[in-house]
Amino acid sequence: MGAITFYEKERIFQLDTPKSTYVIGIVDEENFVGHVYYGKKIKDGRVGYLLRTAEAPFVPSKNNGERVSFLDSFPMEYPGNGLGDYRRSSIAVRTQGGHAAVALSYVSHKIYPGKPALPGLPATFGDAESCETLELLCEDGVLGLKVTLLYTAFTDVDVITRSVRIENQGEALYLTKALSFSMDMDNRDFSLLTLHGSWGRERMMERRRVGHGFMGVESVRGESSHQDHPFMALEAEGAGQSSGEVYGIHFVYSGNFIGQAELNQFDKVRVSMGIHPENFCWKLERGESFQTPEVVLTYSDTGYEGMTHNLHDLYRSHLIRSPYKDKKRPILINNWEATYFDFDTEKLLAIARQASKLGIEMLVMDDGWFGHRNDDTSSLGDWYVNEEKLKGGLKYLVDEVNKLGMKFGIWFEPEMISPDSKLYREHPDWALAVPGRTGSLCRNQYVLDLTRREVLEHTYESVAKILRSANIEYVKWDMNRQLTDIGSLGLPADRQGEIYHRYVLAVYELQERLVTEFPQLLLENCSGGGARFDPGMLYYSPQIWCSDDTDAIERLKIQEGTALIYPLSTMGAHISDCPNHTVGRVTLFETRGHVALAGTFGYELDITKIPEEDVKQIPAQVEMYHKYNDLVRGGDYYRLASYAGNHMYDCWELVSKDKTEALVTFVQVLGRPNYKSRRILLKGLDADKYYRIEGLDGVYAGDTLMYAGILVENPWGDFQSRLYHLTEVLN
């Protein structure tokens, strides 16, 4: 039996992953598609009785006088709109007559090995050996609307993905809502975990009890945002870090989104996620189709730990495509916090010369190298080298850096345009704008209207021309403001509601073209730090700048929330100078290194000016990175303690897949008086193996380390850290 089974007599679909089962049922003469079960793997998915169709109000063919009662209580797999289901809908339209009603009925299905790509969109991928796909074709015969529900069940990781393809075979209409996923479940005293934040404090974890009404997360900023994240987790009563049932829901998209949980009068929870319907209106002519982005679902009966491992494994194996995904990233030094806009060729080379002697492998030139940009008020869009700063030109600088044995990287902000720029003076209409309204500046810049083909082509060629001019091996792609002034001169009046989604599709096209023309390029996405840190961007870049806040202690909370759902190898993390430029805190250079190790690892400082005692530590930090990066990049992540929760200390562990090696990082944030030591229980080891801990005497059994633990010695002062490296002892 494959991953997906259809029980023809019962009209039941069973989707299996290694440890979970998802069941869908077709009921009544009208072929309603119902959600039956999602949870721990079961042998026989023929559990259609869970749909309760034998109970009043019964199905419409038996009791049409209570059709509304049926629609308002049946666990819909993809709920329609306006006909009696008063819960949140997944799809809505506006017809030529002004009506919004949609009702979907099952027509047919296909089951096949592998997974289709989603045109123009990032999505997980898999071959015939790793996954199987179900397509459920549904229709609204009144509208002439064909809606295909796509499900993929992975066989090597506990994940099911969902998306929707909508095709219009009737007269022209407007999609006003097209979510990617919905699921109805009996309430089990669920709580909702979400990730919120702002600039400098992204992805802070927050739990709320699911109460009557609705709650969730959303962004209408044109990107996934600092403020909310396109992720939700439903945790059943009693679930925690390592035990209990957790459902993770994650959106593979980089624009406006909404994720909702709604508890109704019958103690049922409806969860849904997709493109935010606010300011969304997509015209579908006859014969046209619309593909929604993908939602990733994962079930764990081992708490958040299992959910985290599922998502990490999925993204490492089935989403990230970069040639760097399974190898070390070069240790880079970025000049932003070192110089800001005040640099020239000689200053950059001075940093590079010192860095190269210490084992740092790449110099990245950040903002300020183009146009006449000496602050943030000018030149975005003018992607030509300022040779007053870079005397001899870009190629000369790159060649000189290469002669030092270092790679070279560069910063762009391709989606933006400054009013004070040659490009804006020539093409003021290329910025997003609403006629008659004063444009809304943010960081002294407007947003380019990438929905227009001529703007997109110019933008791509501007970036590509620079990359073709020299041996540039890394690009930091930044976006420092959100979208406003949603108007395009390139679209007719009845398609202005398509701008937000078309903009995201344009960004995806630009980055797809970039990594296609420059296949060995290491691309790192960024948006004012972590405002566009989402699975959609990981499809194009194997790493994303986690936050502009590089303070090691603040990063403990930021990186914990990020690592909850993303592999550590995706998190851009650097060692920066102190006092920290964001919060003014002073931490030990060693601690800054240990925190940055749980990410891509690099430097963000002026290496020619930092204290000599810090400089002397860099070779050891470089050695540390090379020693542990395979484990950081590919190991299983375990959260042992949370500074965000206990406000005193932080601890995490990485364990190799074969359980022969582990690395524990402990950070004491606040020193504690008159205490001796703290006991930490490790996780994920092989209970029957024996381990040696580097720097400590003795050999320890795996079960001893997990159930009895190790002692972290005290007393310590504030902001101190330690690493514990475990290796298996062979007989």
Do 550 and 337 meet the contact criterion of CB atoms below 8 Å apart?
yes
Do 277 and 219 meet the contact criterion of CB atoms below 8 Å apart?
no
Strand partners, 643: none
Best CA proximity match to 511, nearest among 321, 676, 700: 321
Q: Is the peptide bond before 673 cis (omega within 30 degrees of 0)?
A: no
How many residues are listed for the chain in this entry?
731
Q: How many CA atoms lie within 13 A of 368 on its CB side?
A: 20
Distances in Å between the alpha carbon of 522 and those of 71, 101, 319, 323? 50, 47, 16, 8
CA distance 633 to 329: 10
- H or E segment and range at residue 458: helix 453-468
CA distance 68 to 62: 13
Structure tokens at 331: 């240790």
Distances in Å between the alpha carbon of 149 and those of 78, 125, 315, 628? 8, 17, 22, 43
* Catalytic site includes residue 478: yes
SS3 of 463, please? Answer: helix
- H or E segment and range at residue 640: strand 636-641
- Number of Cβ within 10 Å of residue 611's Cβ equals 11
Instruction: Name residues whose C-beta falls within 8 Å of residue 543's C-beta, 6 or more positions apart in sequence.
Output: 324, 329, 522, 524, 525, 569, 570, 571, 572, 600
Best CA proximity match to 35, nearest among 215, 291, 271, 301: 271
CA distance 487 to 587: 47
* Catalytic site includes residue 429: no
Q: How far is CA 446 from the centre of its chain?
A: 25
The single residue of 478, 485, 534, 577 carrying the catalytic annotation is 478
Largest CA distance in the chain: 83
The single residue of 366, 548, 577, 636 carrying the catalytic annotation is 548
DSSP string computed for 569-601: GGEE--EE-SS-TTT-----HHHHHHHHHTTT-
Distances in Å between the alpha carbon of 364 and those of 348, 369, 403, 413, 464? 9, 11, 15, 14, 17
Give me Rg for the CA atoms of the chain: 27
CA distance 722 to 640: 14
CA distance 191 to 182: 17
Hunting for tokens 């999609």 — which residue is that? Answer: 175
Instruction: Name residues whose C-beta falls within 8 Å of residue 530's C-beta, 6 or more positions apart in sequence.
Output: 197, 202, 203, 226, 544, 545, 546, 547, 548, 558, 562
| Residues belonging to the active site | 478, 548
